[in-house]
Amino acid sequence: MTDAVARLRHWVATRPDATLLRAAGRVYSYRETEARAARVGAVLRDAAGRRGARVALVLEQYDEFFVCMLGAWLAGLVVVPLNVSLPQSDIDWLIEKSRPEVVVVPDDGACAAAEDGPARLIVTRDAAGLVDGVRLVSREDGSAGLTDTRSASGDELEAVEADELAMIMFTSGTTGLPKGVCQTLRAVSSNAGHVSQVLGLGPDDRIFINTPPYFTSGICHFLTLMANGGGVAGRLGFYFGAGLLDEMEAEGCTGFGGAPAHLVRVVEPMDEPRPHAFRFWVSSGDHLPLPVIEKFSRVLPGVDLYNMYGLTEVSGRLCVLAPAELDVKVGSVGRPIGDMRVVARRGDLSEAAPGEQGELYVTGSLLMQGYLDEPDVTAATLTGHGLRTGDFGTVDESGAVWIAGRKDDIIKRGGEKVSIIHVQQALQGLGRFADVAVVAAADEILGHVPVAFVVPHEPDGFKASRVLRELRGLLPSSSLPSRVVPVAAIPRTGSGKAIRAELHKLLTEEPE
């Protein structure tokens, strides 16, 4: 079982009635998922007109997205997930850039068919509310005259092959315009297989996610659980504290996958150990502060906590820090999965010594094919030394990786280098805040300075001067925040990343 399509078919043959997906009260077995995906795929293939065509998914509901994703792959098509939370103008730009033959939307209200644009299809559901197909919107009269194609069969479909292009995943655009990362079916499937093996997943495991399905993280969780015949329970909305744990229990989940912010907000209000049947917890993205790790172990004893680091350009996950090393390699994102290798390189591209900071380069079989229609950017990124990540960090003798941040996260303050990630980690380690984010602000004299935004546990007693005094014992003076700004909440994306543009807006509104 080398790819996701083969895995789906294997589990349909061996565990047809096992649950693959639970979403909004709707349950899909492996057999039902394949049958419904095949019907979708047959219509997508007819609408696209050729094998290898691109299908843009403008879908937020887990079942709509994953059934259509699998349907496209069963039909030999390329999936282009689009972030539905973006302004419509941005979505239109991404559609224009990716040039799909087909765009799938949730309903006819979101669908305006253009005579010279891609075919538009809407998702249909049966009487039980399960996704049962897609239907084509007539180009002549927009949303009128919909053609019902739910009876189409997927028996004659030719699926995407392992080394063919299967997905074009756009980057978040936090370091410029979004780039379309071209991924093969083998790469996305192998990534999931490696992570499933590291987590020790089995057919009885089910993960709870509320990261939207169109993000790399959501897709990775789905494919990772499918790799070993497990299941996924998806629920949109950012849950907090016991509410999230209650949802997990109600869905029969053995684990959770999300951002560090999820973990912090779950354990922060808990004081006593909670009885549970959970087995694992996956936190991907930012560093987890040691006090949070320690409290997690105390209030949810016996749950294995995995910290992960990934890149869209490697089809998802890259490094995993195992539970046994959380308090040994503090701050590390772990070691690379599979045959992947991470090397820190100096400015002259020579390999940095263990523990010496440099720019991180990645080699291995999970690398992307390149960026869509951007040969110059691809050539600058896929170098003779491997993938140039743009992240800076260190690698120790064992291969464990520490991330200092992207180039933009390392600022010059009066001539001295400062990692705003290190500033953020120090603030998190104080144990005074429910959430923290640090941005680099321009300064006429020093160039740039770090500014911290914090969500205090005790807002009424907050004093920035006290925070700075405590930080002086943890950070050099050049790394101390120029300001510590208390806020009610840190604005974050659906995948848990801090939205720095909104924080900068707050900065301009905050009096000096």
Whole-number Å distance between alpha carbons of 457 and 269:
10
List helix spans (H) across 288-345. Answer: 290-299
CATH number for the 238-406 domain, one of 3.40.50.720, 3.40.50.12780, 3.20.20.70, 3.30.1360.120?
3.40.50.12780
44, 69, 74: which is closest to 57 by C-alpha? 69
Half-sphere exposure of 498 (CA within 13 A, CB side): 18
Those residues whose C-beta lies under 8 Å from the C-beta of residue 123, and which sit 6 or more positions away, are 59, 64, 68, 104, 105, 106, 107, 131, 133, 134
Rg (CA), the chain: 23
Q: What is the pLDDT of residues 252-266, one digit of tens each?
A: 999 999 888 788 888
Q: What is the pLDDT of residue 292?
A: 84
Provide the pLDDT for residue 447.
79
Would the CA dihedral through 478, 479, 484, 490 be positive or negative? positive
Angle at 361 between CA 498 and CA 335, to 5 degrees: 75
Name the residue with tokens 């094919």.
Answer: 369
Could you give the CA distance from residue 393 to residue 226 in angstroms, rounded to a whole number? 32
Residue ranges with strand state E in 106-247? 119-125, 131-136, 165-170, 180-184, 206-209, 231-234
- The whole-angstrom separation of Cα 346 and Cα 343 is 10
The whole-angstrom separation of Cα 67 and Cα 43 is: 13
- 477 vs 286, higher pLDDT: 477
In the predicted model, is pLDDT for residue 146 greater than 50?
no
**pLDDT, average across residues 95-123:** 83
Given this model, what pLDDT does residue 263 score?
Answer: 87
456 DSSP β-pair partners: 433
Contact 186, 364 (CB under 8 A): no
Q: pTM score, two decimals?
A: 0.84
Residue in the structure block whose two tokens are 């919909």:
146
CATH topology of domain 4-176: Rossmann fold (3.40.50)
Domain 414-509 in the same topology as domain 238-406: no
Query: Which residue ranges make up each domain of the chain?
Result: 4-176, 238-406, 414-509
Q: What angle do CA 215, 219, 222 make, to 5 degrees?
A: 145
Closest CA to 166 of 40, 37, 4, 7: 4
In tens, the pLDDT along 201-242 reads: 999 999 999 889 999 999 999 999 999 999 999 998 766 667
DSSP character at residue 492: B
Instruction: Write the pLDDT tens digit of every residue in 43-91.
Output: 999 999 999 999 999 999 999 999 999 999 999 999 999 999 888 989 9
Distance between CA atoms of 426 and 420, rounded to whole angstroms?
Answer: 10
- Residue 93 neighbours by CB under 8 Å, 6+ apart: none
Condensed to tens digits (0 to 9), the pLDDT of residues 365-419 reads: 999 999 999 999 999 999 999 999 988 899 999 999 998 877 767 787 877 778 8
CATH assignment of 414-509, among 3.30.300.30, 3.40.50.2000, 3.90.1150.10, 3.40.50.300: 3.30.300.30
pLDDT tens digits, residue range 147-161? 444 445 555 789 999
Q: Is the pLDDT of residue 174 over 60?
A: no
Q: Which amino acid is at 390?
A: G
Higher pLDDT, 85 or 165: 165
